[in-house]
Each structure stands twice: as C-alpha cells, then as structure tokens.
Structure 1
C-alpha cells in the first residue's frame, strides 16, 4: 500500500480473506472508486494517515485485532472514517453495538453488490458533510502521549501485563496511567470510555429515543 497523501475519497477494505478483498476491489473499481486494501487491522493502522478521506469496509472477525477494536482505536485518535462492517457470523447484539459506534451499516457475507455500493455512497457523502463542519476536539486530548498510547492498547484488548511488556514499563506504572486516564476523562472504566468516545461521533439521527447526548 502506497502511503502517499490521500486527498480524494477512497474505499479502504480491511479483510483477512484474499478472495473477499479481491472481489470487493473489483466491485468498487467497477463503480469508479479508488481502492486500497489491507489484510489486517494492524496493517491498516500502520499505514493510516489523518488526512485520509473515504470510508472503510471492515471485516468484524479478523486475525489479530478485530474490527470493533480497530474502530475504537480510530475513534480514540480522532479519525472518523465511516465504517461499513462485513461479517460471516452476524448476530443482533453485534449489529446493535456496531450501529451505536456510528457504523453506516452491518452487513452479512455474501453481501449484495448493489446494496454495498449504495452504502459506500452514503458513507462517502457523510464524510463530505463532516469535512464541511468544524472538527470536534480530540477525544483523548487531555491525556499525555504515554496515556494515549496505553489507552489505545487497552482498547485493543491487551491486559496490563501485556501493555507493560510491550512498552517495557512496570505493571504498576500501567495501573497508575490507567487510573489517570479514567480520572482525566471522567469515566469509571475503559468500557465506559470506549462507549463515550464512539457516541461523540454518532450522528444524532442514529441515536434511539432516550439515548443521552454525547458529552
């Protein structure tokens, strides 16, 4: 994947099945879209740039980091590329959670090509509208760089010991930073923090009656 500056909207495909990536690329390119594909969430994160525009077709069940974890990390970094989830193992709770995270749609494989293209157009239109409005403050803007790093690893599902080992710091230091993260963000758990981060970017019309407004 070429990591040049991408100013024009693109369709980013993240799926660990080479056949699915190939068929989705052909479908998108046949409709005139520029496509970049990745075989893992980690590969997408490594290449991702803040100036990227477009939408992401994201597999839920990836090897390594899964789709929802990638979505949470992107949100935590203030990257609001619209997400269209694909899965071969859909379930109602998973679909509801995906939509509450602000996903454009949650589709079962094999997906109907025309419906997917319609949802991609919807996602690209929402990205364009977002570009016309002022960007909100970074969700983790009050945190230090080390705290942001630890928060992102926690969102990815790593335990305190795994975070400590990856960052070459002590387990107690990780615990201290996690406490500081929750204190600074006014939350009581990382589950609550992840929910609050995603609700910040959820369109008002996507909230169900009785949902509290985002902070």
Structure 2
C-alpha cells in the first residue's frame, strides 16, 4: 500500500489529518518541515503528498517545484487555508491532482487521494520502464526503435548493415531488459515513456 505524506508545519493539523486518514485505512507519514520531507521521504515510490501551501522556509509551492525537479513519482494535493483561485490554477497547470481548502471534508479528501494514487501508480510504472530503457546499450535502443516501427529482423539487419544473427541477439536482449513478452507489450512500454 502506498504512503500518504502529510507536509504541514502545524502539528495539530497533521495529527488530526493523520488520525482521520488512518481511520480510512491509509498508511500515513507526517512531516512538519519541508526540508526534512525532501531529505527523508521516499520520493520515487508510489504515494501521495498532501502539501500545505503556506509554510516557513520552503512553502508548498517551492516544495512542489523541488518534487518536479527531482522527478518524484508522488502525486501532489494541496491543502490550504489561504488558497485562492489563481494559485490553485497555477498548481493544477504544473500537475497537482487537486487543491482543497481547509477544513476539507473527509469525502473530498478521500476522493482526491484515490485519484492521486492512480496517477502515482502510472508515474511509477513509467519511471520503471524508463529505467529499463536506460539500461539498454545504444545499439539495443536503436534496434528497439526499429522494432517499434514494425521492422522485421532482416530489414533491421539491412538498415544497420549487420548480420541477421546480431539483430536477433540484440532483439532478445531488448525484450529481456524491457521485460516484454511480445512485440505488442514492448510497443506499449515504449509508448508509455512518451
């Protein structure tokens, strides 16, 4: 189960929110400083970050910028008592899942977390595929691109001016490294990275 990270400088708010969410069965971790969250949280796993917009040192806006810069797979929801429409629109354009005013209803919060978890799952899958792709050698990447274009082994060998057996070996390695059981799955994974 993924973790819901509560990032808010108000301890009373994080404690109340944690109690509420744990009552719904979520695994919750509270953070009262943005910097500590950035330094210690698992930013590249499936999960949700509930960020307060107004915090000292590094506010929610700045923290979200850091998460984007670090390519975090955590989906972000903003909770704030100081929210206004322009800020909400800006954060949504940057990719935030939702922007909820405090106090938030349990139903609205749970619905936003469910949407965020689905988005984080896709982000994690995409990151995993990208890591597999990056493990390919330059020649394997080139052959993977030809496979996705629908070229047969003989055509790839002709284009690259290499032996058919060389293409077959590279193709087998591509399929193995990308954990694809067939061409359709490889194509789907390659497109998921786009």
How far off is 1:53 after superposition? 2.1
How far off is 1:78 after superposition? 1.4
Picking from 31, 51, 57, the partner of 2:50 is 57
Where relative contact order (Cα < 8 A, 6+ residues apart) is larger, the structure is: 1
Deviations along 1:11-54, whole A, 9 cap, x unmatched? 00000111110111011101111110000111101212344321
Picking from 11, 14, 21, the partner of 1:28 is 21
Higher-helix-fraction structure: 2
Q: Which residue of 1 is the match for residue 101 of structure 2?
A: 108
Deviations along 1:107-142, whole A, 9 cap, x unmatched? 11111111101110111111112233355879xxxx
In structure 2, distance between residues paired with 1:135 and 1:59 = 29
The alignment partner of 2:83 has SS state of coil
1:28-177 pair list within 5 angstroms: 28-134=21-127
Q: TM-score, normalised by structure 1?
A: 0.57
The alignment partner of 1:133 has SS state of helix
| Structure 1: 4+ residue segments shifted above 4 A | 134-138
Q: Which residue of 1 is the match for residue 148 of structure 2?
A: none
Give structure 1 stretches of 5+ with no counterpart: 1-7, 139-214
**Count of residues in correspondence between the two structures:** 132
Deviations along 1:145-166, whole A, 9 cap, x unmatched? xxxxxxxxxxxxxxxxxxxxxx
Q: TM-score, normalised by structure 2?
A: 0.63
Give structure 2 stretches of 5+ with no counterpart: 132-193
